[in-house]
Structure 1
């Protein structure tokens, strides 16, 4: 029997092992994103540009607040320069506006300092304050178109207060103590009558320190004039009572003249007209500056 021997002598065929590698597609993490560096560069450029814009707006807003600070200080501490403290209720109005200017200055810079943490609340506060300032400025400008005497600092109110005899006695003494006419004399010592009459005199200088031109007095110096001998026979020159009130005494001059009172009123009107214009313009500029700063701050935070 050879069966078993044959089975052991013929070995089974060798089995071949095949290993199949399945190729997997690369995942998104494994695929390099060529656009990512460009995005980072663009973000950096936007962030840099936003910081530059914010810095410029911060500087602009701060510079706009400086004149407001100076105005507040001037209204509070130099309000006696034009003897306005002698007019009832006018010092209160000046002090109120001056304090308001200081408040706006400090809050404006506080909003700038805290703009990153509280952009929206800071903007609301500044907008409210600038709107109130704009209303006050427009109100002062509107007073010059009214004829009521109840509004403080309006032309009608100023005219009545200045032409009050009791008020004027104190005002003319204050004008004298400010040495307005003495300063005019020292400035015009080497000038002739034509130079003095055509020079840029203030309303107070022309009304209180020199006689009216209709009096036709002979010039000696800015505050000393000789009366002429010309008679106004034909009546071509209207009579001016101020000609009789003029005195060469430096304590008298034309301080009792209507021209002096009108010059003083004109000075105050010009001051308050400029104040109303300043408040209106600066409130608008400051509001616009803070609005732009708010937008730039949002852009900076978004770009970062």
Structure 2
């Protein structure tokens, strides 16, 4: 009779193995079909995650059900490293996203964002030319500003000012309010900048391929969006950590069972 802990590990790893197949397939599909920088950026991590889950789940499945102790040891080692990495990332995510908040603008429904309000580590990531080139390309490919323009094409200035824009829409699709430009449409603003101290005012361009994509406010909007996403991921990670620690504990019981059976050279007592 196979012991309970071995059964549990076997079932969990079978489920993980099944889940790894579509993940790996999705990564391979992206590798063959990717046409944008965003898609190309995602393909390698997706394939790596799929391969990792598949290999680890096979090791855990065989190790638990066939009582192969060295495979179960490999599985437990991988699980331990995953727990450590997940814990470190969760702590890191909370630390680097501790700073940064939107600035309320008078008579506006949206907030505006300043790059200097965020952690130095995050600032350096978006200020890196190569990094920002990829991020900029992703924003354009996602048609964030085009969608905003299409949705608000017939809106008057007062109606647009009441809009609850996303951080990226606020930072990348329009100039900062302090520039003093006159509203024509969500992605077209005319006039002369009144705030000469703000470099974003000079970076703004009505050309749809330019807009405020090279503005610090756009980079700040990306960081605000990243902060929001990382906080949600970190919260999910806490739940995942609890689950992984329980699975790891059950795996240790299964490993102990294997060693016990192998030591006595017979089946389960």
TM-score after normalising by structure 1: 0.53
The aligned counterpart of 2:55 is 106
- Aligned residues: CA RMSD: 4.9
**Hey, what's the Cα distance between the residues in 2 that align with 1:74 and 1:282?**
23
**Hey, what's the Cα distance between the residues in 1 that align with 2:25 and 2:239?**
19
TM-score after normalising by structure 2: 0.58
Larger radius of gyration: 1
**Hey, what's the Cα distance between the residues in 2 that align with 1:189 and 1:285?**
48
CA contact (8 A) 1:68 1:101 kept: yes
The aligned counterpart of 1:116 is 65
Task: Out of 205-214 and 112-121, give the one that drifted further.
Answer: 112-121
Distance 1:55 1:135, change over 3 A: closer
CA contact (8 A) 2:83 2:245 kept: no
Q: Is 2:84 aligned against 1:130?
A: no
Unaligned runs of 5+ in 1: 1-46, 86-90, 147-154, 233-237
Q: How many residues align?
A: 232
The aligned counterpart of 2:210 is 252
**Hey, what's the Cα distance between the residues in 2 that align with 1:228 and 1:258?**
19
In the TM superposition, 1:200-219 aligns within 5 A as 201=166, 203-215=167-179, 217-219=181-183
Q: Paired residue for 2:199, among 237, 241, 244?
A: 241
Measured after TM superposition, the shift of residue 278 of structure 1 is 5.6
Cα deviation 1:125-163 (Å, max 9, x = unaligned): 2221122122222333444537xxxxxxxx544422432
**Hey, what's the Cα distance between the residues in 2 that align with 1:64 and 1:199?**
40
Task: Out of 249-258 and 176-185, give the one that drifted further.
Answer: 176-185
